[in-house]
Chain A
Amino acid sequence: MIVNFNRTVPVLFGPGAALRTGLKVKQLGVKKVLCVYDQGVKSAGIADKIVDNLKAAGIQVVIYDGVEVDPPDTNINNAAEMANTENVDGIVGVGGGSTMDTAKAINVLLTNPPPISRYYVGSGNEMKPGKVLVLLPTTAGTGSEVTPISVVSDTATHSKKGVIGPTATATLAIVDPELLVELPPKITAATGMDAFSHAVEALTSEGMNPMSDVLAEKAVELITQNLLKAVKDGSDLNARTNMSFASLIAGFAFTDSLTHWGHAIAHTIGAQFHIPHGVGCAVALPAVVEYVADAVPEKVWRVALAMGLSLPEDMPPLELGAAVAEAIRNLNRDVGIPSLKEFKVEEASLEQLPGAVLADDCAMFGPKRASAGQVLSMLKKAYEY
């Protein structure tokens, strides 16, 4: 089998790494930068630290602090217009997935004519390389700092669109676990399970990428061992560091192997019920693992081993899938991930979702196909546990 190893984003990793932002940005030849973040990152005091650090290195800073969850295309177009007026030669994005997606999309529009909708996946419009893009995640989940994807909420169609390619990829990721110590337990749990889903889905997708597999396995192991610690004690820097690392390598893993049914479901229920992405992933994943266990039993076995489960070696695939699914549900319970029912979702409303799940891009990458009925069955398992 011939596979791609496309992990191309250089990473500066470790506690305190964010202090090197100004130096790195300067070494990348940037003199004036657009710093992108949201109000949460600002109120946590993180944004000011990064801005001060950039300025101390002699970099001019223009600020865009209007990032919203599930970033709308209109915001991106407006921010890019400002960045182009200011003639910045680079972008620094500090925040979670929405911020990093926003920064990536703005970068597209620094060198390509607006609006961002011109560059949605499938548009066929080519993108010129962007400018310098440096991303600093403040959650351990999305992996967006190293992936080539920006997810944009299209206001015209009320759907999520991807902008994919080198222009939507960071020049450098700076991963500093210390930026996470103030992250609240709920967000820690949800984003952590997002990373866990990246790892498990990458490992069980049809990508069959040996590099992704080893990265994903390690990510599963680290998250199993550290997520609860980080949820219980946000200042546990060792747990935060392991989670940041796990998120990072899970991001690398799914860059090549891609996510599948779990993310297709999460995208759908996220759009329908406004459930945080990480929660959607977490509640979908156990059912997905059960569903694909007979297609990729050896991969599910590797998940089990990475989670530290002691299971009989001759366990039939379906039982194996059920056992791993239950272990994931336990992890969800331990870290406080609510079920769909707890989100006050009407069970009957799930009936309308399989079509959207099947239409999601991620649905292409599962190790086996699913009918609408099988998708509904997965959705129902996510409803209550």
Chain B
Amino acid sequence: MAKVYRVNVKTKAIGQEEIKEEYRLLGGRSLISKVLTDEVDPTCDPLGAGNKLIICTSLFAGTTVPAAHRLSVGGKSPLTGGIKEANSGGTAATYLARHNIKMIILEDLPVGDDWQLLKIGKDGTPELVPAADCAGLNNYALVEKLKERYGEAISVISIGTAGEMQYRNSTLQIIDAATGYPSRAAARGGLGSVMGSKKIKAVVIEKSASPHTFQYADKERYEAVRKKFVDITINNEGMTWLREIGTPAITDITGSTAILPFRNFSGRFNDKVGSIGAEEFLAKLKANGGKSGEPCQTGCVIHCSNRYNDANGEYLTSGLEYETIALCGSNCDIADLDAIARIDRLCDDFGIDTIETGVTIGVCMEAGKIPWGDGEAAAGLIEEMKAGSELGKILGQGALATGRALGVKRIPTVKGQAMAGYEPRNLKGTGVTYATSPMGADHTAGLTLEAPLDPLSPLGQAAVSSMLQPMFATADSLMCLFAWFSAASPETMPELMAGIYGGEWDFNKVIDVGRQSVLREKAFNTAAGFTAEDDRLPEFFLTERSPATGAVFDIKPLEIDGVLDY
């Protein structure tokens, strides 16, 4: 049975448990929701002793399924006040799985101000290590220091100084497989601040000296379907854009349909979309020696990541994703990929969510704090956060707090979390997902970009969001979302589950993993005090027409209220 480490940061006691039998068929998002339901009072202070930070692997971690190793982090969100699971690629889940560690739970609050590392040794032994010399470092310098100390063969899950300062937009960063830099983020919901509240600067995982061998329930059955799964993934022509370009390719699609946010979700077309589109992105990579088609984790056959160099050919950032381009770029009318990449690097290094940050900057621009399109000024706002100035501290509380402080009427958040890179009036199904997901406005909870519906019509949007949310929650419980969407089907997934974990599965049973998770999350939020009124988009989306389409968000509350009634 896989191991669970339970770390009490107050007593510094580390307990080792076997994963409970009832958790055996849970992983990632579904395991997070179960553990939080079982162990955390929904009314607790997210930055108090009652909250826990759960770090766990996906259900397929340890197997040879492509892109199986996803790391999930969870807790009560300081940003939304509700349940939160954020996940990421990178090397950490692979390293944990090789130690046969399924979950780490950080509990309580420490006495005093001493920072610690949680180190998992080569033999899998966990230990709290004093980390006074690491405090105050941001992620890139921190990882460099840790590699100097522990060698290259480590994975790191860390917070930057944003997490130390308990900013509600702070992330946990994870080392990227292709570049070795801390550029992958469990970004949403401010969980970096939860780790910060527990004064754990990083989890350092040394490479296992004797890697755990996964015990398949039926190896033969598994291998047969795994081969099929890999074949489908590799040959899925619908996904080749992910390898050739990566998620920045989405900019072209959303830019041409006014789904791409522009100037704080104005609903207008971005007239400079060509400057941040796929063609320009690839041209920049080529000109500066960057690269697309990179893997963020070992064992991936999709390779959607990238390495982005500056004009001098020096590494600037990696994993520059669509959401960052959409929100730190288009939403702020910043039409310069180099400037966006610099912001991405600042965010990864400091440890803040690029989505929350992009929306926060957009709100500041709407307030007239800095001009639209000014990449330098946008980076300056991040520097304010780093410096901890009065404005910086407000910015660090996210877009809603910033917008309120600056008197902005149009603040594109749900449950206190900033919207991702999709204008909900022009992609209404995703608007429904923003409204109803227990996670707050979140695209990975049920993005409807590929749904065969008119995205501007209300018709079918609630139903498609309702259908997709359990599927996305299942994907986030099992593996990488892109791997799921490359090859998951009623033919492959039940066989994979049966081959790996035994038992008989059908597709509905697989999706039930996510469905039950969403229901637990909703119940957690209800217990935390959320009501139907929290499942609403900001009013301006209902009353202001998108100038590019004439659309308003017109899905009726009655429909929205039934979306998660399974």
Q: Which A residues fall within an 8 A CB radius of B?
A: 14, 16-20, 22-23, 26, 53, 56-58, 176
Contacts and interface: CB of A to CB of B under 8 A. Distances in A.
20 contacts: A14-B550, A17-B550, A19-B545, A19-B547, A19-B549, A19-B550, A20-B456, A20-B548, A20-B550, A22-B548, A23-B257, A23-B258, A23-B548, A23-B549, A56-B269, A56-B548, A57-B269, A58-B256, A58-B269, A58-B271
A218 B547 CA distance: 32
Given A22-B269, A56-B268, A16 B256 contact: no
Interface string B136-167: 00000000000000000000000000000000
Contacts of B546: 19
Contacts of B258: 23
Given A23-B258, A26-B256, A16 B269 contact: no
Interface string B525-559: 00000000000000000000111111100000000
A57 to B, nearest CB: 6
Contacts of A22: 269, 548
Nearest to A174: B550
A176 B549 CA distance: 12
B272 to A, nearest CB: 10
A178 to B, nearest CB: 9
A22 B255 CA distance: 13
B536 to A, nearest CB: 22
Contacts of A19: 545-550
A14 B256 CA distance: 22
Interface in B401-456: 456
A56 B549 contact: no
Contacts of B269: 22, 56-58
A56 B550 contact: no
Nearest to A21: B550
Given A17-B550, A176-B550, 8 more contacts: A19-B550, A23-B548, A56-B269, A56-B547, A56-B548, A57-B269, A58-B256, A58-B269
Interface in B371-400: none
Contacts of A57: 269, 548
A18 B550 contact: yes
Contacts of B551: 16, 20
Given A17-B550, A20-B550, A26-B256, A56 B545 contact: no
Contacts of A26: 256
The CB with the most chain B CB atoms within 10 A, among A14, A17, A18, A20, is that of: A20
Contacts of B548: 19-20, 22-23, 53, 56-57
Contacts of A18: 550
Nearest 10 CB-CB pairs, A to B? A19-B550, A16-B550, A20-B549, A56-B269, A20-B550, A16-B545, A57-B269, A23-B549, A17-B550, A19-B547
Contacts of A56: 268-269, 271, 547-548
A217 B449 CA distance: 40
A341 B268 CA distance: 52
Nearest to B255: A58
Contacts of A20: 456, 548-551
The CB with the most chain B CB atoms within 10 A, among A20, A23, A57, A176, is that of: A23
Nearest to B456: A20
A26 B549 CA distance: 12
Nearest to A57: B269
B192 to A, nearest CB: 39
Nearest to A176: B550
The CB with the most chain A CB atoms within 10 A, among B271, B545, B550, is that of: B550
A19 B551 CA distance: 8
Contacts of A17: 550
A88 to B, nearest CB: 20
Nearest to A16: B550
A14 B268 CA distance: 19
A12 to B, nearest CB: 9
Nearest to A178: B550
Interface in B245-287: 256-258, 268-269, 271
Contacts of A16: 545, 550-551
A29 to B, nearest CB: 11
Nearest to A26: B256
B280 to A, nearest CB: 15
A16 B425 CA distance: 13
Interface in B449-480: 456
Contacts of A53: 547-548
A56 B268 CA distance: 8
B551 to A, nearest CB: 8
A23 B547 CA distance: 11
B382 to A, nearest CB: 30
Interface in B496-536: none
B502 to A, nearest CB: 49
A16 B554 CA distance: 13
Contacts of A14: 550
Contacts of A58: 256, 269, 271
A24 to B, nearest CB: 9
A2 B81 CA distance: 65
A57 B426 CA distance: 14
Nearest to A52: B547
Contacts of B271: 56, 58
Nearest to A56: B269
Nearest to B269: A56
A58 B268 CA distance: 12
A37 B258 CA distance: 26
A50 to B, nearest CB: 12
Contacts of B456: 20
A234 B268 CA distance: 29
Contacts of A176: 550
A52 B409 CA distance: 26
A26 B271 CA distance: 14
A23 B548 CA distance: 7
Nearest to B256: A26
Contacts of B549: 19-20, 23
Nearest to B549: A20
B138 to A, nearest CB: 40
A19 B269 CA distance: 12
A46 to B, nearest CB: 14
A56 B256 CA distance: 11
A58 B551 CA distance: 19
A383 to B, nearest CB: 45
